[in-house]
Amino acid sequence: MKLQGLFLVVVVVIFFLSYTVLVKGQHQPRKDCQTKCGNVTIEYPFGISSGCHYPGNESFSIICKEDKPHVLRDIEVKNFNHSGQLRVLLNRSSVCHSDKQGNETEFGYSNLTLDNLSLSANNKFTVVGCNVLGLVGTFDIIKQNYTTGCVSLCDQPPLENGNCEGVGCCRTQVSFPSDRNTFLFGSAHVPGLPSVYNFNPCAYSFLVEDGMFDFSSSEDLKNLRNVTQFPVSLDWSIGNQTCEQAGSTRICGGNSTCFDSTRGKGYNCKCNKGFDGNPYLSDGCQDIDECTSTIHTHNCSGSSTCQNKVGHFLCVCPSGYDLNATSNGCVIKEKPVYFGWTQIFLGTTIGFLLVLLGVSFIKHRLRRRKYTELRQQFFEKNGGVMLRERLSRAGSSNVDVKIFTEECMKTSTNGYDKSRILGEGGQGTVYKGTLPDNSIVAIKKARLGDNSQVEQFIREVLMLSQINHRNVVKILGCCLETEVPLLVYEFITNGTLFDHLHGSMFDSSLTWEHRLRIAIEVAGTLAYLHSSASIPIIHRDVKTANILLNENLTAKVADFGASRLIPMDKEQLTTMVQGTLGYLDPEYYTTGLLNEKSDVYSFGVVLMELLSGQKALCFERLETSKHIVSYFVAAMKEDRLHEIIDSQVMNEYNQREIHEAARIALECTRLVGEERPRMKEVAAELEALTVKTTKHKWLNQYSEDNEQLLSGHILSAQGDISSRGYDSIMNVARFDIEAGR
């Protein structure tokens, strides 16, 4: 009944234990961490205080009490092993005779809970005593349980010491599944057998590391030499993923190798051959100087001297001696056999040519092999495996994305010649390239500094490959074999909208019709990304420099490196703020909450640039008008919009439409995101302006043919045209804007 009660308690404890999730990322300990507890060195991933041990697994948290390190609160640690083993001291279990006649059935037991640690396979369950049954087993209310044990029988003290095979002592291998972490073990005297009380008053059971206990019949049957704790080997590992699954989140430092844990989950690290130290620290594995080390010694013998190299050593002989590869000692060089001058010359020449040919061949093979390995390393570092997996999951929409080789990209850009640079920005450098089929493309070399930017690069590839829209720059493929990844786009021949409005490369001759159409195309594209794409997309960096124009001045939205996909069940995301000053949504900047209204704000700034021909930020304007939004707001309030509109845009026939476009731009740039319209509404309103512009053109032509009639009352009869007056002071046409417009 006592045993059943103990099992019930263990069930309740196990049921309410919480599982701690491993913190992802390459965590490293603080610089001020305590590294000693008594005479035991505490090495990462274990640590004594918060920030000093690997997070997410409390089994790595060391408690230092009475100058002794402990894990799991009360298990004393003897030493650590970088390869995933921990040696601890565990208490024994004992049961003593309560009936000197040998009729008792009392069971002495102990329980052990290891949390995220597990028993190593090199432990033995050992029972010391005569006429004793010992059992050890796992306990789990969900998974299958395992039990093993042994029996020790004798009616007098055995004669042989060190023999633990069933007479006075028995033991059995402990080999349980690595995911079991709760154990019960104990022993009981077998009733009905002769009493052994005189020489064996108690029976003992315990776990002990193999080879760490030798049985002595004269000392152990009485009181087990008063030893109450025995060394036990425990296994540990980092996380629950294999090395391949953990990928870039592995914490293995430099000059180290990752290997999958023998526990069946997680991984461990080890220093490469020729290096020693803590492989879990970023710079923990240091070169071993075999020439001076007393632990890692060299095998140079005789007159050969040791010469240390990074990761290895060399045995060097003095002049006139050769190294014997077998003994690593030095032997005197054999004297050469002299031939005639002709034979010497021919032999030397042929030998030199053969050596030269061999060296060239070997260098070529090594260079090619190194080049191949380097390209594979770049492919993996640049997210090639991640991209391949995501493309395979994405379906048939990505079958047209081509993977280009590094040689192709280098040839296409003439070795990335500076004259081929089309532009540079926060997301990378863009080159003009010519593919083998003579097609012209734009090749973008991304700027990468950490793993989060690799994710950003992969995001752009996936995002662009799934967008099918006439006003979005089409992605043709990518190259991952270079130090930084490359994206290959269709080439847009006519520069950016920024160049046409503000640059010196193009003559700024965009008419009102051109600018209105460009605004409609960009607005329609953003509306498609927000509402019609398979997964809503927020561009996050809408600006005139990211709007390209082709030979027909058709707008093409580009540079999705900062874009974000919005899950279907969310309307906004909390992200690290990204964007370009002047175009950045102030609400997003202050709160970090990203939604589609952030793109609406940026588009409003672009629309103001189209109307005014002014840059988004201009430090030559007044202090209160350096930002174009403030510039527009002030002009609208003071009824001087005509002063800031580009002279190539406004004429007496399109002022109403320009006022409407300016109103739309101001609505888009409201400080509160909820007060801004959606891009679908903006696109519809701008589209409606094209009808009015066309109607005014027709009326203009009609006016030239019927000037006298139009000067009368015919205009007032047109129900959809507002009355127009003339201000002789301002010398400009003035319109009465309808209420609410």
DSSP 529-588: IIIISSS-EE-S---GGGEEE-TT--EEE---TT-EEPPTT-S-EE------TTTS-HHH
- Whether the CB-CB separation of 441 and 412 falls below 8 Å is answered with yes
Q: What is the mean pLDDT of residues 721-736?
A: 28
**pLDDT score of 108 more than 90:** no
With bands split at pLDDT 50, 70 and 90, how would you rate the model's confidence at 505?
A: low
Among 612, 657, 383, smallest CA distance to 501 is for 612
Q: What is the mean pLDDT of residues 550-574?
A: 70
- Tell me the percentage of the chain whose pLDDT exceeds 90: 42
Question: Which of 147-151, 615-619, 718-722 comes out lowest in average pLDDT?
Answer: 718-722
Give the integer Cα–Cα distance in Å for 632 and 638: 10
Question: What residues contact 662, with CB distance under 8 A and at least 6 apart?
Answer: 608, 611, 632, 636, 641, 645
Domains of the chain (ranges, CATH numbers): 1-236 (no CATH), 384-490 (3.30.200.20), 497-735 (1.10.510.10)
Give the integer Cα–Cα distance in Å for 654 and 662: 12
Give the integer Cα–Cα distance in Å for 539 and 583: 12
Q: Which residues are catalytic?
A: 541
CA dihedral 43, 63, 94, 105 (to 10 degrees): -120
- Whether the CB-CB separation of 170 and 127 falls below 8 Å is answered with yes
Q: What is the mean pLDDT of residues 615-623?
A: 83
For residue 488, the 8-state DSSP code is: E
With bands split at pLDDT 50, 70 and 90, how would you rate the model's confidence at 579?
A: confident
- Whether the CB-CB separation of 601 and 669 falls below 8 Å is answered with yes
**pLDDT score of 565 more than 70:** no
pLDDT one-digit tens code per residue, 358-405: 888 888 888 888 878 888 888 888 778 887 777 777 555 545 678 888
Task: List, as one string, the DSSP characters of 461-479.
Answer: HHHHHH---TTBPPEEEEE
Distance from chain centroid for Cα 703: 66
Q: What is the mean pLDDT of residues 396-421?
A: 82
Bond into 485 cis (ω within 30): no
What pLDDT does residue 462 have? Answer: 75
Question: Which of 97-106, 206-215, 290-299 comes out lowest in average pLDDT?
Answer: 97-106
Does this model's pTM top 0.85?
Answer: no
With bands split at pLDDT 50, 70 and 90, how would you rate the model's confidence at 105?
A: low
